[in-house]
Structures are given as C-alpha cells and as structure tokens.
Amino acid sequence: MCGIVGYVGFRSAADFLMEGLHRLEYRGYDSAGIAVQQGDRIVVRRQVGQVQELSDLLTRKPVSGSVGIGHTRWATHGETTETNCHPHVGGDGHVVVVHNGVIENHDTLRDWLQQLGYVFHSQTDTEVVAHLIAHHLDEQQRLNGDSDLPAVCLNAVRAALQQIHGTYGLGILFRDCPDMILAARCGSPLVIGVGDDEYFLASDSGPLVGYTKEVVYLSDNELAVLQKDRLQIEHRTTGNVAPAIQTLEQVASDIERGDFEHYMLKEIYEQPHTIENALRGRLDEDEATAVIGGLNLTAQQLRQIDRVVLTACGTSWHAGLVGEYLLEEFARLPTEVEYASELRYRNPPISDRTLVFAITQSGETADTLAAMRECRRKGHPTLAICNVVGSTIAREADGGIYLHAGPEIGVASTKAFTSQVTVLTLLALYLGRMRHLSHPAGKRIIRQLQEMPETIEKTLRCHEQVQEIADRYWQFDNYLYLGRLYNFPVALEGALKLKEISYIHAEGYPAAEMKHGPIALVDEKTPSVFVIPRGGIHPKVVSNMEEVKARRGPVIAIACQDDAEVARIADDVICVPDVEEYLQPLVCAIPLQLLAYHVALLRGCNVDRPRNLAKSVTVE
C-alpha cells in the first residue's frame, strides 16, 4: 500500500522522484523519502508527514545525481517515525532499499541477522530486507570478488529473495554499483517505464505519464536490472524473460486536478463522462443486448452457467451487491457476493457451472487477487471487472470487462463505483438476453442506459443543495443510512464514504431492518439518511421514516422531485432524477458522495488523503 519510484538515466533523479511521489501520495502519506547515488555514496533524505514536507527538506538539503529510488509510506510495521521511514539502509550503507508489501518471516530473519551482528534502527520489515541483501552481498564478494560487481549484486538479491516469505515490491540501490537499480516483485505491483537511455520504476503508471509511452509490467517472481542503456528481466524459476512492452494510454490531464480543489470532487464530476465511457461501443440496439467481447467464453459456455459469484472488497463489494440484484432480476441467475478477504480462506462448494467475477478498481487488491487465484486454482472460469489496464488481476483473469474510468486518485472511490455498477448492468443485460429477457425489454434497458450520462449531469445540480444540508449536519457524530432493494447497497456505500473521509461513525442498513435493533440508536443527535426514490416499496420506506421521526430523529432524504409525502416527513430533501429502480444506485450515490465530501471539509479533514487509509490495498 506504499508507493515506489525509481530512476536511472541522465536527468536529475531527485526531480523525477519527487514528482513521482506527489503522484503516488494517494498510496501512502505517513512519511516519504528518497535515496540518490551521489558520487561514491548514497544520500538518503527522509521525512515524516506528507510528500510536500520532504520537498521542503530537499530545498534545505538538496541532493544531486541521476540514479535514485523513492518511497511514500503507509505504515504496516512500526509507527510513523523518522527511523521507520523508507528508504532503509543495509549493512554499512552499501545497500539501500524501498519496499511495498509484508515480509511474513521478518521476525525470524531479524533474530538471525542480529546474531550475525547486524544492528537494527527501525521496527520495519523492510530494514530486514536491506540487511539480508547486505549479508548476501558480503557472502558473494567473499566468494567471487568484485570483478563483475553487477552480477555479484544480482546474485545477492537472488539469494535474499529465496529466504523471504510474503509479498514485496522492491527497489534496490548498491553504493558500489552506482549506475544500476534492481527491482523485484512478488504480490506488490511494479511497472517499468522505457525511455531513450533512461528507465523509470513505479508502483503504478501515474508517475510515468509525460515521461514515456512505453511500459513493462513486472509479473510475480520477476527480478529486473535497470541501467540507463539496459533492461534485463528474469523469472525466479524460468530464467531470462523478454520484456513485454505495452503502450501507456494515459495523458497528463488524467492525473491532474484541473480547476477542482480536490481529486475527489473532480472525480465526482467526471461521472457523466466515465459512465459514457463504460457504455461506449457496448450497446447493440438491433439485437437489444450488450456487447461484451472480453469474457473469452462462448455463448454456449455462458448459457451453461447456473450460478455467479462476485467477489470484492470495500466499495467494489457494494457494487457487487447491486450486481446481485441486477443479475438475478435480468438474467435469473442465482448470485452471491463474497468478501474477497473471506472467500480466499473458505472452501465453499463451487460447481463447474459457476462463473466467478473479481471486482476491483486498481486490479491489485491483495485479497481480491488471492480469492481469484484460489478459484482459478480449482478450475473455475474467473473473470474480472477492473479499471486498470495491465494490472495483475486484469492480466491473470481468464477474461473480463474494463471500466475505462481513467485514473482514480482520491482515496474514497466515487467514479469507479458508478462505472462498476454500469458495467454490471451491461453484464446483466447481456446474460439476460441469453436467457429470459425479451427483445422489447432489452431495447428499453438500452434506451435508458443511453440517457444515463445526461441524467447524471442533472443529478449533479443537487450540489449546492447538498452543501447547504452539510452546513446543518456536519457536527453530528453518528449517522444511519437506510435504503431497500437496489438502494440498500447505496446506503452501505454512503455510510462508507462518510466514515472514510470525515471519520464519523455511520452504519448502513436495509430500512426495514432498522426496527430489529438499530432503531435503538435513534435520537435527536443521530441523523438518518434515507435513500427513498420512487419505486415498488416506496410506501414501506416512508413508514420507516415515520418511525424515525416519531423518535425525534433528524431525517435527510434522497428522493425524487415533487415527492410531497417524503417532503412532509423529512427535515431535508435532496432531489434526484426519477429513473427506473435498477438505475437508482447510479443517481442516488452521487448526492451521498457530495454529502460526505462537504461534511469532511467542514470538519477540517483531508478528503483526498484520509487518515489510516491508502488507495490500493496491496497487503493483507
């Protein structure tokens, strides 16, 4: 969940590293540091806090050189202190390491290295890696001398990796081999940018935008040697690998805030466009169905499927809950939604006629990846709904559907959620037309989907109204979010957004379940946010609102325009367009995103970088 950058070439390494760390700060912002080869030594600068504080330190204490590595940290081992910041130094300073991941046997290795005389200054598992490589470097030099120092360094890393258990993305410098970076990956993503007489290294492609259009995504158990005029990649068991160079499609505007104060607000406002992108080229009006070309399963194979399992974490799990309703209604397919963190360790009965979908924004979520791999290991067709091209899940899945939402920088997911719901709607339409859904019904769904980008534009007009409501409620410390059917997952997602960025306790429930326990929480200081657009069970949810009002609980309602009944009961109403029930999650999620955003601002929170969270959860 940390961010790694590296550079070898002719530019100022520190300049690239700092720009890259700013772009990767959403991955971790407890502390940051860089290490640069400067003459015959490696100079390390580290700073607790955000990347800007490291930038200020470098203004006071600059470094120069054209080879270096950097890191922005999200703590897994050890508190947020200067001694726990990366990079970490091994031995007597001849090895420097940055690391993303978790070394599971670090305690055992630490004890062994301490017995050998190595002195530890931090609580991190990364310092264990640094000393371990330093130990093997000494061993290799005793055996082989310094006649081919790059080979000696490479052998030292190979030996160290044999002893490590866990996940890692590593960037490694050697003091006595000043023109080289070694990079290794097992479970934590790394991408290499290919330039002219220069190479770049990063945890994801964001830092590479504007520097190169050619990238290589490292696979698990691969080790790379980066020198300004050479890139060598080898696999731990199969030997040298020819670099698979891909084209990087991102542009600078994708990762810049533009005129918006925060990435989260920018990404909320991008949703008309991202939903349009998710739909583009995927609607077949003549056949009244969706066009989904990446599943890599024939129509005959798909007709034999009699069950779907959706697995995900966090916001993606909420999108999966919406997908459950969609697939069961349109395709009449029994569907289950599993937390990936639970599925990976369970042994549920899954038949050979079950289709497993992993849902993920980043394509690197550790639990989702592990759950997908476990299902694949057992021979089940395993597909992905993913946003990031070239990500591990996208590459390892048997097939899948890209969101085409563009980079999502804000830690709290917004546009990825609505894009996932849109893609799941397309999937339900596609499978439904193979089974029970009629041609006229398919045509109607297509027409309604085509209208959604414009409908989302209209939904965003509630922004000023939401801001006014946030002004009245931001000081409350407990919230209930309530909805039914398609809007129950929306209630869960709304509560999660508020928790993530404002640190307010919030719980989402099916509205009817309130009286089975949660109603005990209702009082004058606990607002209830009802997601209650028009629909078949609208009167039932109105009754639930009445129950809250009878106990003097404040009520905020997300409702359709001119709903007089809701307006009579609720203290405040946020109006959304009136759409079919299966499309309500798309329009109702947006005011909840805006409400969380403005409450967080009023409470002085950093909405793009909330405490204790990172964007890509690449560790268990």
In a domain, 295, yes or no: yes
Q: Is it the case that residue 619 has pLDDT exceeding 60? A: no
In a domain, 620, yes or no: no
306 lies in the same domain as 202: no
25 lies in the same domain as 137: yes
Per-residue model confidence as pLDDT tens digits over 452-497 = 999 999 999 999 999 999 999 999 999 999 999 999 999 999 999 9
Question: Residue 19, exposed/middle/buried by CB under 10 A (0-12, 13-18, 19+)?
Answer: middle
In a domain, 424, yes or no: yes
Q: Which of 19, 61, 29 is nearest to 44 (CA)?
A: 61
How many other CB atoms are found less than 10 A from the CB of residue 343? 25
The amino acid present at 409, given as its one-letter code, is: I
Residues forming a β-bridge with 573: 557
Q: What is the mean pLDDT of residues 253-276?
A: 90
318 lies in the same domain as 417: yes
User: So what's the pLDDT on residue 258?
Assistant: 83
User: So what's the pLDDT on residue 616?
Assistant: 63
Q: Are 101 and 619 in contact (CB under 8 A)?
A: yes
Cα–Cα distance, 53 to 482 (Å, whole number): 41
Cα–Cα distance, 404 to 422 (Å, whole number): 11
Listed in sequence order, the residues at least 6 apart from 217 whose beta carbon sits closer than 8 Å to its beta carbon are 189, 190, 191, 192, 244, 246, 390, 391, 395
Q: What is the mean pLDDT of residues 339-354?
A: 86
Least confident of 26-30, 41-45, 91-95, 245-249: 26-30
Q: Is it the case that residue 188 has pLDDT exceeding 90? A: no
426 lies in the same domain as 515: no
Confidence of residue 194 (pLDDT cuts 50, 70, 90): very high
Range list of H helices, 503-528: none
Q: Are 36 and 68 in contact (CB under 8 A)?
A: yes
Q: Are 190 and 197 in contact (CB under 8 A)?
A: no
Mean pLDDT, the chain, integer: 91
User: So what's the pLDDT on residue 615?
Assistant: 63
Per-residue model confidence as pLDDT tens digits over 197-237 = 999 999 988 899 889 999 999 988 999 999 999 999 999 88
344 lies in the same domain as 388: yes
Q: Is it the case that residue 517 has pLDDT exceeding 90? A: no
In a domain, 241, yes or no: yes
SS3 180: coil
pLDDT: is 99 or 143 the higher one? 99
Q: What is the mean pLDDT of residues 372-381?
A: 86
Q: Which of these is catalytic: 2, 85, 153, 560?
A: 2
* Residue 415 a catalytic site member: no
User: So what's the pLDDT on residue 349?
Assistant: 82
Q: Is it the case that residue 252 has pLDDT exceeding 70? A: no
- Label residues 451-475 b or e (16+ Cβ within 10 Å = b): ebbebbeebbebbeebbebbeebbe
291 lies in the same domain as 407: yes
214 lies in the same domain as 297: no
Least confident of 58-72, 286-300, 509-523, 575-589: 509-523
SS3 495: helix
Q: Which of 225, 254, 283 represents a domain boundary (last residue)?
A: 254
Per-residue model confidence as pLDDT tens digits over 529-571 = 999 999 888 888 888 888 888 888 899 999 998 898 999 999 9
How many other CB atoms are found less than 10 A from the CB of residue 15? 12
- Specify the CATH number for the domain of residue 245: 3.60.20.10
Confidence of residue 308 (pLDDT cuts 50, 70, 90): very high
In a domain, 617, yes or no: no
310 lies in the same domain as 241: no
Q: From residue 235, give the alpha-carbon distance in Å to each of 121, 185, 374, 413, 485.
A: 32, 10, 22, 34, 48
How many other CB atoms are found less than 10 A from the CB of residue 93? 12
245 lies in the same domain as 264: no
In a domain, 165, yes or no: yes
Compute the 3-state secondary structure of the chain and give helix, strand, coil in percent, each to the nearest 5. Answer: 40, 25, 35
- Number of folded domains that form the chain: 3
Confidence of residue 261 (pLDDT cuts 50, 70, 90): very high
330 lies in the same domain as 443: yes
Q: From residue 591, give the alpha-carbon distance in Å to each of 76, 258, 463, 600.
A: 34, 22, 7, 14
Number of H helices and E strands in the chain, helices first, is: 20, 27
In a domain, 265, yes or no: yes
Range list of H helices, 164-237: none
User: So what's the pLDDT on residue 1?
Assistant: 61
- pTM for this entry: 0.86
Cα–Cα distance, 166 to 164 (Å, whole number): 7
Q: From residue 206, give the alpha-carbon distance in Å to each of 198, 394, 495.
A: 17, 17, 29
User: So what's the pLDDT on residue 333?
Assistant: 95
Q: Is it the case that residue 27 has pLDDT exceeding 80? A: no
Q: What is the mean pLDDT of residues 31-45?
A: 92
Q: From residue 28, give the alpha-carbon distance in Å to each of 157, 339, 409, 588.
A: 26, 24, 12, 30
Q: Which of these is catalytic: 266, 497, 499, 615?
A: 615
Residues forming a β-bridge with 231: 226
Q: Are 290 and 427 in contact (CB under 8 A)?
A: yes
Full domain range(s) for residue 423: 259-450
Q: Which of 230, 254, 278 represents a domain boundary (last residue)?
A: 254
The secondary structure of residue 89, as a DSSP letter, is E
484 lies in the same domain as 605: yes
- Specify the CATH number for the domain of residue 433: 3.40.50.10490
Give the length of the chain.
620
427 lies in the same domain as 476: no
Per-residue model confidence as pLDDT tens digits over 87-141 = 999 998 999 999 998 899 999 999 999 999 999 999 899 999 999 999 999 988 8
The amino acid present at 488, given as its one-letter code, is: F
The amino acid present at 150, given as its one-letter code, is: P
Q: Which of 220, 254, 288 represents a domain boundary (last residue)?
A: 254
Confidence of residue 618 (pLDDT cuts 50, 70, 90): low
Cα–Cα distance, 359 to 575 (Å, whole number): 30
SS3 138: helix
Q: Are 477 and 608 in contact (CB under 8 A)?
A: no
Q: What is the mean pLDDT of residues 155-159?
A: 94
* Residue 615 a catalytic site member: yes
In a domain, 618, yes or no: no
Per-residue model confidence as pLDDT tens digits over 412-456 = 999 999 999 999 999 999 999 999 899 999 999 999 999 999 999
Q: What is the mean pLDDT of residues 235-256?
A: 83
Q: Are 487 and 494 in contact (CB under 8 A)?
A: no
Q: What is the mean pLDDT of residues 247-262?
A: 80
